[in-house]
Amino acid sequence: IEVDVRAESGIAAREQAWEEAQRKAWDRLEGPSLSDSQIAGLVSAVVIERERLGPRRYIATLGVVFDRQRASRYLGSEGEATRSAPMLLLPVTVSAGTQMVYEQRNPWQRAWAGYQAGQSRIDYVRPAGAGGDSLLLTYGQTGRRSRTWWRNALDQFGAADVLVAIASLRYTYPGGPIEGTFTARFGPDNAYLDGFDMTAASPAELPTMLERAVVRFDRIFELALAEGKLRPDPTLDIGTPELDPALQRLLDLGRALRAQEQAAAAAASQPTAESGDAITAAPIQTPPPEGSVALYTVQVATPDAASFDGAVSSVRGTPGVRATGIRSTAIGGTSVMTVSYSGSIGELADALRARGFTVRQGSNALAISR
């Protein structure tokens, strides 16, 4: 919205200009007639794209963002549209032989961060790029095909699938035009959607070109959504695998035998008529045979990379631990390990407590933290 307002002071001119921008934006949405206070109650943000403030004048280009839920009461069906599932966005910059996503701040990432997607049908999930994002989300990861890896990565950001927006920038000469080739891709298979070219006359025009490219990308993604191409990949929904019937019968038989052994051990530990209330020598938990090794699952709280490395090293150095394996890594969450230990799960819990861990013991797994 373009505004140009004069008033007794620059501050008063800016306040009047913002109210005028909100009215113009509401009229552009073809909403019903409302008072200025009612319209202000529907606005969630005012975005300043460009502004000039004088002693008694305010000139600016503003963007007005309305709250979708509150505004939909007045806009009716026009205010609602079918949106996509949450899509993780990876803005890739290819320039001078390098590929960059979140390794450092760059104009392409900044253009996407500033894009107001409130009116878009695409539900973008845009990471901040801080912390471990720059290590987890890199250009090399876009070539991965492992559904398990993608599912773990998408779960950390609450996304259903991934969109890749690639900007290949070629600087013709210092201070000269910048040629951009843009490519839209989708999904863990990196499927091609569309592409286009743009040119910026100088480095000063690069941000403007990238802003227009973001709008063009949004149209490409919306068109792909309308054509049914942006459906979440069903192979990402790993779920519970179906076992072979013969293998399932063996598992059921093993569980039944284990239940019988546990019932027999519990019966042996109960006092008999001869023993009365005397303490019997029957153990409550039958430990594994001497020298045998059992495999246990250990969940580890890993708020950062240092805690992950320290926990893995400490568990490996615990007396009685024969081997360890990493089932899943979740920096900032809970990682899962498998531990081969020569003893019962209770003995493993005591050994980990001696290493300084806080241990919570379940039926067949441990959860540890520091």
- Residue 270, helix vs strand vs coil: coil
What residue spans define the domains of the chain? 2-79, 87-235, 290-370
Helix and strand element counts for the chain (H, E): 10, 14
Q: What is the pLDDT of residue 284?
A: 39
Q: What is the pLDDT of residue 180?
A: 94
Structure tokens at 123: 């539900």
Block residue for tokens 């606005």: 43
Cα–Cα dist 275/282, whole Å = 12
Cα–Cα dist 333/335, whole Å = 7
Residue 302: how many CB atoms within 10 A of its CB?
Answer: 22
Residues of the chain under the 50 pLDDT cut: 78-80, 240-241, 272-285, 287
Cα–Cα dist 123/159, whole Å = 9
Cα–Cα dist 78/309, whole Å = 52
Residue type, 321: V
Cα–Cα dist 63/56, whole Å = 22
The residues that bridge with 196 in the sheet, in sequence order, are 182
Q: What is the pLDDT of residue 169?
A: 94
Asked whether the CA dihedral 270, 271, 277, 278 is positive or negative, the reply is: negative
Q: Which residues contact 354 (CB under 8 A, 6 or more apart)?
A: none
The string of DSSP letters for 21-55 reads HHHHHHHHTTPPP--HHHHHHHEEEEEEEEEEE-S
Alpha helices in 270-339 (DSSP H): 305-316
Look up residue 137 and give its DSSP letter.
S
Contact of 86 with 158, CB cutoff 8 Å: yes
Q: What is the pLDDT of residue 268?
A: 62
Q: Which residues contact 139 (CB under 8 A, 6 or more apart)?
A: 92, 94, 99, 100, 101
Q: Of how many residues is the chain composed?
A: 370
- The answer to whether domain 87-235 and domain 290-370 are alike in fold is no
Q: Please choose, from the candidates 337, 335, 328, 336, the residue with its C-alpha nearest in 3D space to the C-alpha of residue 303.
A: 335
Structure tokens at 152: 């773990």
Q: Which CATH number fits domain 290-370: 3.40.50, 2.30.29, 3.30.70, 3.30.1640?
A: 3.30.70
Q: What is the pLDDT of residue 115?
A: 85
Strands 124-125 and 87-95: parallel
Cα–Cα dist 352/356, whole Å = 7
- Residue 199, helix vs strand vs coil: strand
Cα–Cα dist 109/205, whole Å = 16
The residues that bridge with 334 in the sheet, in sequence order, are 301
Buried b (16+ CB within 10 A) or exposed e, 104-135: eebbbbebbeebeeeebbbebbbbebeeebee
Structure tokens at 84: 């996509």
- 87-235: CATH class: alpha beta
C-alpha separations of 305 from 182, 254, 271 in Å:
34, 39, 51
| Element spanning 169, H or E | strand 161-171
